[in-house]
Amino acid sequence: MTRLQVANLMDQTGLVPLFYHPDPELGKKVLKACYQGGARLLEFTARGDFAHEVFAELNRYALRELPGMALGVGSVTDGAAASLYMQLGARFVVTPSFREDIARVCNRRKVLWSAGCGSLTEIGHAEELGCEIIKLFPGSVYGPEFVRAVLGPQPWTRIMPTGGVSPDETNLRGWFDAGVCCVGMGSNLITKKLLELEDFKTLADSVSQVMKTIAHIRGKG
């Protein structure tokens, strides 16, 4: 899957679930539930020790069992880490802040990278280096009005907020009406309670409902 295919998949589906857990077996169940709910992307937020080993196992599983699923990595803070995850098959790389070293290594491998930006200057700089989709983080701080303001002078910019995004229609409508191309959703979707109960049927249903809500807001459902 090419970088442009991944970017288009983000555009088309509108949702990137975010998830991290040190247990790869639980991770596989989460990945499958998201897939069954209609998600075709998942950002593995690499925040723990030996997270790359968990990612490798999850990606092998996705490639073997979940056709069309693009597994990417988030919380990447330097080019070396980005290179490691790309060697493990990451289809996209998401960063909490804008880093030129990550841009360079991802561009060299033609892998989509989404830079965490918080100003119009950062967004412009990231786009000059080839960033297709900007990560707005934390979304709860900036809000939909920031997106609307950015797209005024830069209607070509594609933005994905994470943090401050929830499954309810009012929240999602606020973001999509402002002009985001997709949203990243973590613990408000893949909740701690669902993981504790291992209620993967409810998770799949929740993902499906979010996908339907996004399609309805966009006038596609």
Note whether residue 82 is domain-resident.
yes
Note whether residue 16 is domain-resident.
yes
How many domains, the chain? 1
Please determine, for residue 174, whether its predicted confidence score (pLDDT) is greater than 80.
yes
Note whether residue 118 is domain-resident.
yes
Note whether residue 125 is domain-resident.
yes
Residue 90 DSSP code? -
pLDDT at position 221: 60
- CATH code for the domain of 90: 3.20.20.70
Neighbours of 1 (CB within 10 A): 15
Name the band, by pLDDT with cuts 50, 70 and 90, for residue 50: very high
Give Cβ neighbours of residue 156 (< 8 Å, ≥ 6 apart). none
Note whether residue 220 is domain-resident.
no
Residues of the chain above pLDDT 90, percent: 99
Note whether residue 107 is domain-resident.
yes
Round the average pLDDT of the chain to a whole number and report it. 97
Q: Which tokens hold the place of 76? A: 């990447």
Please determine, for residue 77, whether its predicted confidence score (pLDDT) is greater than 90.
yes
- pLDDT mean over 74-92: 98
- Give the Å distances, CA to CA, from 107 to 111, 113, 134, 146: 6, 8, 15, 28
Q: Which tokens hold the place of 195? A: 């993981």
Q: Which amino acid is at 24?
A: P
Residue 21 belongs to what domain range? 3-215
pLDDT in tens, 25-45: 999 999 999 999 999 999 999
Environment class of residue 9 by beta-carbon count within 10 Å: exposed (0-12), middle (13-18) or buried (19+)? buried
pLDDT in tens, 181-212: 999 999 999 999 999 999 999 999 999 999 99
Note whether residue 221 is domain-resident.
no
What distance in Å separates the CA atoms of residue 94 and residue 121, rounded to the nearest whole number? 19
